[in-house]
Structure 1
Amino acid sequence: RKKPKRHKSQARIKGRKGVLIPEETLFPRELYEMALTEGQVEVIKAFEELVEEGMLVLTADRGRGKSVSVGIAAIGLALALKKRTRIVVTAPEPENVQALFRFAKRALEKLGFKPHVVEEKGLIKELYARKIGLRYYPPTEGYKKSADLYILDEAAGIHVPILHRYLNKPRVVYSSTVHGYEGAGRGFSVKFLKKAREKRQFKELHMEEPIRYSENDPIEKWLFDVLLLDAEPVELTEEDYELIKNKEVYFEEPDLDDWFENDREDLRNFVGIYILAHYRNRPSDVALLADAPHHEARVLRLKNGKIVTAVQVAKEGNIPKKVIEKMVKGYKPRGNIIPDMMVKHHMLKEFAKLKGYRIVRIATHPDAMDMGLGSRALELLENEAREKGLDWIGSGFGASEELARFWVRNGFAVVHLSPARNPVSGEFTAIVLKPISEKAKKLIRKANDEFRIRLTEWLGDTHRDLEPEIARWLFETPFGEAVDYPVHLTDVQKKRLDAFTGKVLTYDTVVDAVKPIVKLYFLDGWMKPYLDERQIKLLIHRVLQAHSWEETAKLIDRTETFTMIEVRDIIRGLWYYYKRLL
């Protein structure tokens, strides 16, 4: 075939300089010849060390050929192990690992294999060749599989507790974009690597030389600027910490038009806080803030103007009667997540007429965490909502122990929990509300009561694997009163409870009578008997979630006999207290 003619005005693109390949290599030289930069050669070389086992952390900006080198090197490792090799590949989305799979396939072909590819909706999910298998799993599944190598690509987009689950694997590679929306700036290094260093040794590599661009390419710089790919929060000084300690902060609604047209620095600092707060960020999030009429920003600034907390809110509610009737039958109005949930799951049509703020995101500067700034921002947002005549403020979040505690301690009531975990974060989604108007208070109180009743049942079924330390916070209520929920025990059940607490009958023969008493405790108000954290977790895990004695003993790190005695003691105290009420 004839080559197309070059036009006079066409620029010649410089060919890449040859890359030096080490004299002695464990992996086939053909694989090294696929590398385009010295950085890629280094990555392949680093994989050779994993033959003995170990951990590798690989970071790069976008367009450095990171995923490609991991794909090539993984094949080298599989061959060097000289046995049937299983490789687990994971990332937030299957799209993230397509380059890795494509180049692993290319590497196999270059070595004379005929790889077999399994695709799903046009995306490679599995790749097989003689005795070698690579397969994609979601982050929450991968660590449960047995494999010779675990590769976590775009690791900064994976939830930190899930990253920790892979730490004890004999061979593991964490690879991540540092700047760019797949990445999370220093979030990955701040939140994960710091902890990881305490647990094991590992090698770190950072890839500098670009492949997609030339060195210092103006287009790359332009892209970073436009999409805020390298946004980071402002540096904090000693004086700033003094201001934070003394709560010398003010709350403001920034002029977004001005931000986008003129003052880029504030916008960068605002977005930078989200990137480091480990939210999964996409360029469309910034676009939403710029374009969606019902999305607004709020910031907490120090007296000197530095942004320390970033809040994004969406106005919801105020839905017309006709639309509410359609919602009851399954219609989903756009941009009304909380009213929709209240109508469908709590049958509270009147809630949809009320107006409120849904907090889409709230994050504090990573160097000023746990200093009360998030709570202060919520307090000031509530004041603003009250002045504007709104009825409620609420939010939806991935239910971790830390976040559940944060929202509950700030006076929010839990009203819903998703039935399934998010496949990327591995968390259930909780929805919380705080009433401002009296009308909203009645409805939210009702929804919170109903939710607590549901949770006592869901824990034995839908949420049987929900961590007890999270469940205990979901039962907490800002209203302080017991749920009006009739509990009935027959005379024989009461006598059997006496026999159980008196060491005559065993737990397994009185479960039917124990469960209602435990439910009563979790549905009680602020005047309920005192139990410590461990005792609360024990009741949730053994009684409500019906886990075995063996699993429960493991949870509290005691023997099974000790655990049985402890449960009996707790139930004795509760039965003594509630006996007179029944």
Structure 2
Amino acid sequence: MDVHSRYRTSAHDTVTARFNERFILSLGSCDDCLVLDDELNVLPISRGKDIKPIEEDRGKGKEESGLKDLKDSLADTKPVGELVKLAKTIDQAQAILTFVDAIAEKTLSSTVTLTAGRGRGKSAALGLAIAAAIAHGYSNIFVTSPTPENLKTLFDFIFKGLDALGYEEHLDYDIAQSTNPDFNKAIVRVNIFRQHRQTIQYIQPEDAHVLGQAELVIIDEAAAIPLPLVRNLIGPYLVFMASTINGYEGTGRSLSLKLIQQLRESTRPSLTKDAQATEEDAPTASSSRKATARAPPKARTLREIKLETPIRYAAGDKVEKWLNGLLCLDASVLPKFTHQGCPHPSECELFYVARDTLFSYHPASEVFLQRMMALYVASHYKNQPNDLQLLSDAPAHHLFVLLPPIKDDESHLPEPLVVLQVALEGRISKAAIMEGLSRGYRAGGDMIPWLISQQFQESKFALLSGARIVRVATHPDYTSMGYGARAVQCLNAFYSGEYFNLDEEAEAEQSYPDASRIDESTSLLTDRPTVRAVNAMPPLLQRLGERRPETLDYLGVSYGLTPQLLRFWKRAGFVPLYLRQTQSELTGEHTCVMVRGLNSSTEEELQWLSEFAKDFRRRFLTLLSFKFREFGSVTALSVLEAANAGVKKLDEDPTRELTPTELGFHMSPFDLKRLESYANNMLDYHVILDLLPAVATFYFEKRMGAEIRLSAVQSSILLALGLQRKTIEEVEAELQLPVNQALALFGKLVRKLSKRLQDVQKAAIEATIPEAPPKLPVATDDGTEGQAGTSWKPVETSLEDELKEAGSEATRALRERQRQMIDSLDLSKYAITDAATDWNMAGTQVAKLAAGGAEGKSTVVTVKSTAAAGQKRKTDEDGGAKGKEKKGARRSLKKAKR
């Protein structure tokens, strides 16, 4: 088949047509199917040849009679009577009446939701309702849908309704078609000018900001639009919303389970003030501040309409039943465990699903397939019929399911908690890589190898082998309970070889017929295809220990960036390597590619991942002031944290720290002085705004050292002001912080970073100062010579001892001075000889006094010095001689003058 060409890759080019086998077998189960060959021969597989005639309709049914009575009763009511005549079923007519009632009220706080299966006439009812709004004088009507091509039926019935009301084209209204070649000339605008100017305008789902003057907004196929965008479209005006509850048009974002439920709660008075959106439905990373601020009003009137009677098919049509079963359109999830609690994630096991058995059309396999597709429908994915064929026939895709603990006595298939779809990629030939890079194109499949090779211009990456996780579909009742993380963890362990057991593989190894092999002896003209025998198919579920894992180098994932998904994959250890700058037209999200190594990978083997993550971080920091400015600062910071996990080893290199020379290239001394002044509360923050990009780049590239750490809020403020170039008012709205608190936190972080930059500058100055000379050796306590110690030793003597010692020294010095003064005196004039008479008399007197015989006499003893007279005479002689010399000198002087 030509369609299989897009499923082939360089390493996987053998396609097994499992979808064809299941399709042919399903035809045999359809009672109203007649299969013919090119010669119009009825083949044995047909069950239509056994068709039985049905009884003739003997009258109109109850519904037809009710519809006719309703049309007759409204025949004279303008304008609704003319519009109801175009209804095909009683359900559709009642839906038109409900729409017209909401239009006639002309309130700006009403919502009408219309849900139905495929082929029930939803778009036709909306078209007729718009015609009724034109008749009631509504001027500004906006219509939105994933693409304008989806609105063909809606516009057709707008024109039928206008014709029924007497409007004529060119006289009363004009039609404008799109000039976009992608829209195939779809109608995007209708201008009505019969009474006054009225407009029906198509807008993109993300253009909610143009609804300022809207009076009526119609959202067709709302389930195919991301839930945050649908919520932004609801505002102070009348809203009509239609969605398919089953089928591929209704398999996105779980509209009926979330938004409609929130609208129901918002109509309750007790919940009007407390109704808030859950974190899972928060705006996407790329939502602008204005779009985020727009929220559905708290008090709105909700009307719900459901269409049951089919128009495209007859009631109970077997072909519709066959089609729904073949394409899994009616797949619905099972209710939550009621008889027992939810198992712990660590108790659940991951199993490999054999696709040959899953798509064999065996009754048990069909039940399990329907359950798996129900998880796809209920999860956050937009599905197509082609996805089912991709799941069955693509040779590089594999399926895993996470199952609760299975008891030995269980006889039924367990309910899958998580479905994992994995695509093996890589191992592209070097010639194909070089040709693709040189010509700027990439082949189909192998998304991550081609994308990373082009973004980094590294051809060797495509030679590696990896597994891309395509989908992680979790049961809606078990989200945020750890089952998805458990499934990814088990998948990583499987490809790391932790489950593989050679003994178990040998026991499970068994040869089965090749499903792609065609038996030449069979013929559709004579044989009737049947489901293969059970023993001819491999087990539907296979334990991971029984299967040999493929040799891989990495695990990867590609998804639309939202805060919740980013947090999930970051916790799983994945590192971002690519973030698309333009938004997806379908979801309004930016595609993000994340990669991680296996548990068995070494640091040397993952050196390429660190280099890629480092380059991604540098590019992302630069692009934050461009398209990524629309990101919330918290989301952008989370992306940086995920990238830092892959660059951790490189950031620990001390040579990457900021050098004084590099600092001088980016900032002058005046700039550093400005930062210091602001840190000291001497300047306004506007004065340093021009320095924030360089400072923020230094910090987020881990150039300031490991000791500089900012809190999460401070990092968000620095990223928003420095890299995203946002205003402080925008930071206030994002972080829900008053401006004064945000500026206070900003001042603290600037103080930290300014001090660090000053330290870098001081280090440059210290490098220019010569080193001090070495110290001379000094004697140590043990008497040897050594270097002087730098440590302090305790004083050996106390303060009191030192004071006493100082006092003793002062006393000794005083006594010494006194001794010197005494020695300087002339005592020779007091000399007494032993022969002196007075001395003898004094001795006799002392003896008497001692004996006590000299009572009444004086106790004072006087002795005359014998040297006093001689000394006096000598002194006088010396003085007379000197006087004569002086007189002689004077006489000589007088004679000389004469």
Structure 2 length-normalised TM: 0.60
Report the Cα distance in structure 1 between the residues aligned to 2:130 and 2:387, rounded to whole angstroms. Answer: 34
Residue range with higher mean Cα deviation, 15-24 or 324-333: 15-24
Matching residue within 69, 83, 86 for 2:125: 69
| Residue identity opposite 2:251 in structure 1 | A
1:33 to partner: Cα distance: 1.2
| Residue identity opposite 1:252 in structure 2 | F
- Can you list the C-alpha shifts for 1:531-577, whole angstroms capped at 9, x where unaligned? 44443332332221112233232323344444333322332234345
Is 1:252 equivalent to 2:252 in the alignment?
no
Matching residue within 206, 210, 214 for 1:140: 206
1:580 to partner: Cα distance: 3.7
Matching residue within 548, 567, 574 for 1:405: 567
Contact 2:692–2:721 under 8 Å retained in 1: no
| Residue identity opposite 1:182 in structure 2 | E
Is 1:296 equivalent to 2:387 in the alignment?
no
| Residue identity opposite 2:346 in structure 1 | K
- 1:331/1:367 Cα in 2 relative to 1: closer, same or farther (>3 Å)? same
| Residue identity opposite 1:279 in structure 2 | Y
Residue 126 of structure 1: aligned partner: 189
Matching residue within 89, 93, 102 for 1:49: 102
Contact 2:205–2:233 under 8 Å retained in 1: no
Superposed counterparts of 1:386-401, under 5 Å: 386-387=496-497, 388-401=550-563
1:143 to partner: Cα distance: 4.8
1:239 to partner: Cα distance: 5.4
Larger relative contact order (CA 8 Å, sep ≥ 6)? 2
Matching residue within 347, 352, 376 for 1:274: 376
| Residue identity opposite 1:126 in structure 2 | R
Superposed counterparts of 1:157-556, under 5 Å: 157-184=224-251, 187-196=254-263, 197=265, 198=275, 199=298, 200-238=300-338, 241-243=341-343, 245=344, 247-261=346-360, 262=362, 263-304=365-406, 305-329=414-438, 330-387=440-497, 388-436=550-598, 437-438=601-602, 441-476=606-641, 477-479=644-646, 480-481=648-649, 483=651, 484=656, 488=663, 489-524=667-702, 527=706, 529-556=708-735
- Can you list the C-alpha shifts for 1:79-128, whole angstroms capped at 9, x where unaligned? 21x25x12221122222222111111221222222232222323222222
C-alpha RMSD over aligned residues: 2.6
| Residue identity opposite 2:336 in structure 1 | L
1:223 to partner: Cα distance: 1.1
Superposed counterparts of 1:4-153, under 5 Å: 18-19=67-68, 20-21=70-71, 23=74, 27-47=79-99, 48-50=101-103, 51-53=106-108, 54-80=110-136, 82-83=137-138, 85-113=139-167, 114=169, 115-120=173-178, 121-130=184-193, 131-146=197-212, 147-153=214-220
Report the Cα distance in structure 1 between the residues aligned to 2:330 and 2:760, rounded to whole angstroms. Answer: 61
Contact 1:482–1:524 under 8 Å retained in 2: no
- 1:276/1:424 Cα in 2 relative to 1: closer, same or farther (>3 Å)? same
- 1:363/1:535 Cα in 2 relative to 1: closer, same or farther (>3 Å)? farther
1:312 to partner: Cα distance: 0.9
Report the Cα distance in structure 1 between the residues aligned to 2:158 and 2:117, rounded to whole angstroms. Answer: 21
Residue range with higher mean Cα deviation, 197-206 or 317-326: 197-206
1:393 to partner: Cα distance: 0.6
- 1:511/1:149 Cα in 2 relative to 1: closer, same or farther (>3 Å)? same
Contact 1:313–1:359 under 8 Å retained in 2: yes
| Residue identity opposite 2:228 in structure 1 | P
Residue range with higher mean Cα deviation, 188-197 or 245-254: 188-197
- 1:567/1:430 Cα in 2 relative to 1: closer, same or farther (>3 Å)? same
Report the Cα distance in structure 2 between the residues aligned to 1:293 and 1:124, rounded to whole angstroms. Answer: 41
Report the Cα distance in structure 2 between the residues aligned to 1:312 and 1:528, rounded to whole angstroms. Answer: 43
| Residue identity opposite 2:356 in structure 1 | D
- Can you list the C-alpha shifts for 1:269-293, whole angstroms capped at 9, x where unaligned? 1111111112001111011011111
Structure 1 length-normalised TM: 0.92
Report the Cα distance in structure 2 between the residues aligned to 1:571 and 1:185, rounded to whole angstroms. Answer: 45
Report the Cα distance in structure 2 between the residues aligned to 1:11 and 1:448, rounded to whole angstroms. Answer: 72
- Can you list the C-alpha shifts for 1:454-503, whole angstroms capped at 9, x where unaligned? 11111101211122232121101323346558663333322221112122
For residue 432 of structure 2, give the secondary structure of its aligned residue in structure 1: helix
| Residue identity opposite 1:432 in structure 2 | M
- Can you list the C-alpha shifts for 1:273-324, whole angstroms capped at 9, x where unaligned? 1111120011110110111111121111112322000111111110111011
The structure 1 segments of at least 4 consecutive aligned residues displaced by more than 6 Å after TM superposition are 9-15
Residue 3 of structure 1: aligned partner: none
- 1:491/1:229 Cα in 2 relative to 1: closer, same or farther (>3 Å)? same
Report the Cα distance in structure 1 between the residues aligned to 2:217 and 2:748, rounded to whole angstroms. Answer: 45
Report the Cα distance in structure 2 between the residues aligned to 1:500 and 1:76, rounded to whole angstroms. Answer: 64
Contact 1:289–1:295 under 8 Å retained in 2: yes
Contact 1:339–1:352 under 8 Å retained in 2: yes
Contact 1:351–1:440 under 8 Å retained in 2: no
Structure 1 unpaired stretches of 5+: 1-8
For residue 496 of structure 2, give the secondary structure of its aligned residue in structure 1: helix
1:232 to partner: Cα distance: 2.0
Contact 1:416–1:431 under 8 Å retained in 2: yes
- In terms of Rg, which structure is larger? 2
- 1:411/1:174 Cα in 2 relative to 1: closer, same or farther (>3 Å)? same
For residue 135 of structure 1, give the secondary structure of its aligned residue in structure 2: strand
1:331 to partner: Cα distance: 2.2
For residue 316 of structure 1, give the secondary structure of its aligned residue in structure 2: strand
- 1:397/1:413 Cα in 2 relative to 1: closer, same or farther (>3 Å)? same
Contact 1:185–1:230 under 8 Å retained in 2: no
Residue 5 of structure 2: aligned partner: none
1:185 to partner: Cα distance: 8.0
Report the Cα distance in structure 1 between the residues aligned to 2:707 and 2:125, rounded to whole angstroms. Answer: 59
- 1:95/1:548 Cα in 2 relative to 1: closer, same or farther (>3 Å)? same
Task: Kindly tell me the number of residue pairs found equivalent between the two proteins.
Answer: 571
Contact 1:357–1:385 under 8 Å retained in 2: no
Residue 742 of structure 2: aligned partner: 563
- 1:344/1:528 Cα in 2 relative to 1: closer, same or farther (>3 Å)? farther
Among the aligned pairs, what percent are the same residue?
A: 29
- 1:328/1:185 Cα in 2 relative to 1: closer, same or farther (>3 Å)? closer
Report the Cα distance in structure 1 between the residues aligned to 2:242 and 2:657, rounded to whole angstroms. Answer: 51
Structure 2 unpaired stretches of 5+: 1-52, 179-183, 266-274, 276-297, 407-413, 498-549, 762-898
- Can you list the C-alpha shifts for 1:194-252, whole angstroms capped at 9, x where unaligned? 33333444111111111111111111111110110011233331456432x25321111
Report the Cα distance in structure 1 between the residues aligned to 2:303 and 2:78, rounded to whole angstroms. Answer: 18
1:257 to partner: Cα distance: 1.8
Residue range with higher mean Cα deviation, 551-560 or 207-216: 551-560
Residue range with higher mean Cα deviation, 404-413 or 41-50: 41-50
